[in-house]
Amino acid sequence: MSVTFAQGFSAAGVEAGISAVAGKKDLALVVNNGPLDAAAGVFTSNRFCAAPVQWTRSIIADGHVKAVILNSGGANACTGQAGYEQSQATARRVAELLDVAPEDIAVCSTGLIGELLPLDNVLAGAGAAFAALDDTAEAGADASHAIMTTDTKPKTVEIEGDGYRIGGMVKGSGMIAPQLATMLSVITTDAVVTAGQAQAALLAAVDTSFNRIDVDGCQSTNDTVLLLASGASGVEPDPDEFNAMVAQACASLARQIIGDGEGASHDIRISVTGATSVDAALACGRAVAASNLLKCAISGNDPNWGRIVSSIGTVPASVAPYDADKVTVDVNGVRICENGGAGRDRSEVDMTPREVHIDIDLNAGDAEATVWTDDLTHEYVHINADYES
């Protein structure tokens, strides 16, 4: 289903010869058929942000986007003025096809950093995608396939609201870290909302979803999350419900990224409670999520709490006040660290499930936060030692 679940959207995914992988769909097009064209976007904070990010950030500033073209097989990052002109030319081609202004076309790219795209293939692919546009579930699925790189499966979401719908897709598997996670995501809704409403909902949703996952601590140059509203349902949603549903869509997509993290054999949920503030809880959770040693231990099915507390111990007291002698750690429900020292034996922990729950209680306050990460496996090293396309 993906982006076509919401009314007023058509999509396509085609093979345009951009990716080095023969036979892979590598170009997606998502068109908002209206009546509205409200749009919101959140982008990478990386200072080497890619040409398509620069283009899209600039054209979305007015709150209007008619279509998004996305390619895998090349990030068009660190490509200078020539790269920017490629994004611009791509937008111009889609604008011609749809008979709208180039400034209404968002562009996203993902793949290897530092190389220009095969522009002729992109432009020809845009034509093929335009010809294939449809509002079927299959067309949405094609789009979600076309944006995959090291992803092993497409990631989509469909949520039914009170008279309106939200659909979405995301790609991302490696180079995933706040802020943002490394990925491209397009979320669509047929609710009647303004660009301002969409932006507020998206910012809040991203903060508790894509910004709380970390596969490998590496932040991309191309991250983009777009929320497009067609208004095709004719329904003006309750603002709180709409915000909650956008948050739910983002959380689902973020969780799917972790579920498909490069080489991962365990999805790890790290919940920090008893913190003096959400920021304190987040800082502790992120420190644990960033520990290569812990992530290796989990891949070896070892609930090594020493590597958990030594990670928490790197967070400055000014950021997260707590007393090391009062910290407890449960892994999959077994309290293996009590009062900062050994608790129940780690052999009691069942590490067979793919999902591992690490629950840390700082016993210092009432705030809490949850972050997600993956384990670090041989396969991650293999993928990233050999990945070139």
Q: Catalytic annotation on 182? A: yes
Nearer to a second copy, 256 or 291 (CB): 291
* Residue 115 binds to a second copy (criterion: CB under 8 A): yes
If phi > 0 it is left, if psi is from -120 to 50 it is alpha, else beta; for residue 68 that is beta
CA distances to 215, 248, 256 from 172, rounded to whole Å, are 10, 18, 9
Window 182-211: contact mask with a second copy (x via CB under 8 A): ------------------------------
Closest approach, Cβ 297 to a second copy, in A, equals 6
Closest approach, Cβ 208 to a second copy, in A, equals 21
Region 271-300 residues binding a second copy, contact defined as CB under 8 A: 290-293, 296-297, 299-300
Nearer to a second copy, 42 or 198 (CB): 42
* Residue 48 binds to a second copy (criterion: CB under 8 A): yes
Hey, CA dihedral for 125, 5, 156, 162, is it positive or negative?
positive
Closest approach, Cβ 44 to a second copy, in A, equals 8
Nearer to a second copy, 208 or 265 (CB): 265
Instruction: List the one residue out of 75, 6, 68, 15 whose CA is nearest residue 40.
Output: 68
Closest approach, Cβ 269 to a second copy, in A, equals 20
Is residue 86 within 8 Å of 122, Cβ to Cβ? yes
Looking at 56, 150, 182, 221, which residue is catalytic? Answer: 182
Closest approach, Cβ 299 to a second copy, in A, equals 5
Strand partners, 171: 184
Give the one residue of 4, 173, 219, 233 binding a second copy; rule: CB under 8 A.
Answer: 219
Q: Is 262 annotated as a binding residue?
A: yes
CA distances to 62, 275, 300, 312, 362 from 320, rounded to whole Å, are 39, 7, 30, 9, 9
* Residue 119 binds to a second copy (criterion: CB under 8 A): no
Compute the distance between CA of residue 33 and CA of residue 30 in angstroms, rounded to an integer. 10
* Residue 380 binds to a second copy (criterion: CB under 8 A): yes
E-state strands within 74-179: 105-109, 155-160, 165-171
Q: Is 171 annotated as a binding residue?
A: yes
* Residue 370 binds to a second copy (criterion: CB under 8 A): no
Region 295-334 residues binding a second copy, contact defined as CB under 8 A: 296-297, 299-300, 302, 305-307, 309-315, 317, 324-325
* Residue 378 binds to a second copy (criterion: CB under 8 A): yes
Nearer to a second copy, 189 or 220 (CB): 220
Q: Is 72 annotated as a binding residue?
A: no
Is residue 180 within 8 Å of 46, Cβ to Cβ? no
> From the CA atom positions of the chain, what is the Rg in Å?
21
Give the one residue of 136, 341, 350, 354 binding a second copy; rule: CB under 8 A.
Answer: 341
Q: Is 160 annotated as a binding residue?
A: no
E-state strands within 246-344: 267-275, 328-331, 334-338, 341-342
Is residue 292 within 8 Å of 376, Cβ to Cβ? yes
Give the one residue of 89, 112, 128, 204 binding a second copy; rule: CB under 8 A.
Answer: 112
Instruction: List the one residue out of 123, 370, 96, 130 whose CA is nearest residue 254.
Output: 370
Strand partners, 372: 213, 269
Which residues, including other chains, have CB under 8 Å from residue 40's CB and lie 6 or more apart?
A: 60, 63, 195, 198, 199, 201, 202, 203, 226, 227
**What single-letter amino acid sits at 389?**
S
Closest approach, Cβ 335 to a second copy, in A, equals 13
Is residue 222 within 8 Å of 108, Cβ to Cβ? yes
* Residue 345 binds to a second copy (criterion: CB under 8 A): no
Q: Which stretch binds a second copy (CB under 8 A): 14-22, 250-258, 335-343, 363-371?
A: 335-343
Burial 250-259 (b: 16+ CB within 10 A, else e): bbbbbbbbbb
Compute the distance between CA of residue 221 and CA of residue 212 in angstroms, rounded to an integer. 18
* Residue 340 binds to a second copy (criterion: CB under 8 A): yes
Give the one residue of 28, 106, 371, 376 binding a second copy; rule: CB under 8 A.
Answer: 376
Annotated binding site for substrate: 149, 171, 182, 262, 384, 389
Catalytic sites, residue numbers: 182
Q: Which residues form the interface with a second copy (CB under 8 A)?
A: 45-49, 75, 77-80, 83, 112-115, 174-175, 216-221, 290-293, 296-297, 299-300, 302, 305-307, 309-315, 317, 324-325, 337, 339-342, 376-378, 380-388
